[in-house]
């Protein structure tokens, strides 16, 4: 049901965020190839371990952007997703440390969702994000019958995320409001996480 215009109360202990859904139906024209920063390489991780994945998930998005969904998901459910042959996980590595996450979900026929995309704080503002997005687009549309690549972002994410996705060739097609328990109050994230989002206990 669509919200009526005007203000809407958010329950104490919760957060409200505006979610923007974006999509592309064909790969965009591409300029010069973007190189990775020195010392960074790309790797696919097949059937990643749940503990390892959650550590990376937190490193990329937990502290700054309040990523919490995969931390709260029951371990067997997350293991089933990560072990699915139609889910592909890629990382950028700095030595032995994974410093970026790309998760492509091909479980819907003819479509691919960029389920998670992000780089660790030290790589923000480098070419790493652009390289990883180019890889995501190329990998998705290399699949036969691919008709739609989609993702979503929200107002808890990096303030330049939406503009980055639009520059990458995605078109917004829907906005929604999500209300969720504040993970800093439920104990799922540290109390100092996501300082850009005020806490209302």
Q: Is residue 170 part of a domain?
A: yes
Which pLDDT value is given to residue 9? 92
Q: Is residue 68 part of a domain?
A: yes
The pLDDT of 103-113, averaged and rounded, is 98
CATH code (residue 48) = 3.40.630.30
Q: Is residue 199 part of a domain?
A: no
pLDDT at position 31 over 90: no
pLDDT confidence bin for 106, thresholds 50/70/90: very high
The closest of 86, 94, 84, 85 to 56, measured between CA atoms, is: 94
Q: Is residue 195 part of a domain?
A: no
Q: Is residue 9 part of a domain?
A: no
The 3-class secondary structure across the chain, one letter per residue, is CCCCCCCCCCCCCEEEEEEEEEEECCCCCCCCCCCCCCCEEEEEECCCCHHHHHHHHHHHHHHHHCCCHHHHCCHHHHHHHHCCCCEEEEEEEECCEEEEEEEEECCCCCEEEEEEEEECHHHCCCCHHHHHHHHHHHHHHCCCCCCEEEEEEECCCCCCHHHHHHHCCCEEEEEEEEEEECHHHHCCCCCCCCCCCCCCC
pTM as predicted:
0.95
pLDDT confidence bin for 103, thresholds 50/70/90: very high
Q: Is residue 197 part of a domain?
A: no
Which pLDDT value is given to residue 125? 86
**What is the bridge-based pairing of β-strands 111-119 and 148-154?**
parallel
Give the model confidence (pLDDT) of 137-175 as tens digits.
999 999 999 999 999 999 999 999 999 999 999 999 999
| Average pLDDT, rounded, for the chain | 95
Give the model confidence (pLDDT) of 51-74 as tens digits.
999 999 999 999 999 999 999 999
pLDDT at position 32 over 80: no
Which pLDDT value is given to residue 201? 84
The pLDDT of 90-117, averaged and rounded, is 97
Looking at the structure of the chain, the number of domains it has is 1
Buried b (16+ CB within 10 A) or exposed e, 6-15: eeeeeeeeeb
Task: Give residue 180's domain range.
Answer: 14-26+37-186
Q: Is residue 5 part of a domain?
A: no
Q: Is residue 1 part of a domain?
A: no
pLDDT at position 76 over 90: yes
């Amino acid at each position: 049901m669509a919200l009526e215009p005007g203000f809407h109360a958010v329950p104490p202990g919760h957060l409200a965020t505006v979610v923007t859904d974006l999509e592309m139906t064909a790969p965009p024209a591409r300029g010069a190839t973007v190189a990775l920063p020195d010392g960074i390489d790309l790797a696919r991780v097949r059937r990643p371990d749940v503990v390892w994945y959650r550590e990376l998930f937190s490193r990329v998005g937990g502290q700054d952007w309040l990523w919490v969904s995969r931390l709260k998901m029951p371990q067997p459910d997350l293991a089933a997703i990560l072990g699915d042959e139609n889910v592909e996980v890629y990382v950028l590595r700095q030595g032995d440390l994974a410093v970026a996450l790309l998760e492509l979900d091909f479980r819907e026929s003819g479509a691919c969702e960029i389920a998670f995309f992000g780089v660790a704080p030290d790589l923000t503002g480098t070419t790493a994000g652009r390289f990883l997005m180019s890889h995501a687009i190329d990998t998705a549309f290399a699949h036969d019958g691919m008709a739609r690549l989609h993702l979503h972002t929200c107002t808890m994410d990096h303030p330049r995320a939406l503009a980055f996705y639009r520059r990458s060739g995605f078109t917004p097609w829907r906005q929604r409001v999500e209300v969720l328990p504040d993970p800093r109050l439920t104990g799922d994230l540290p109390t100092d996480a996501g300082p850009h989002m005020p806490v209302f206990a």
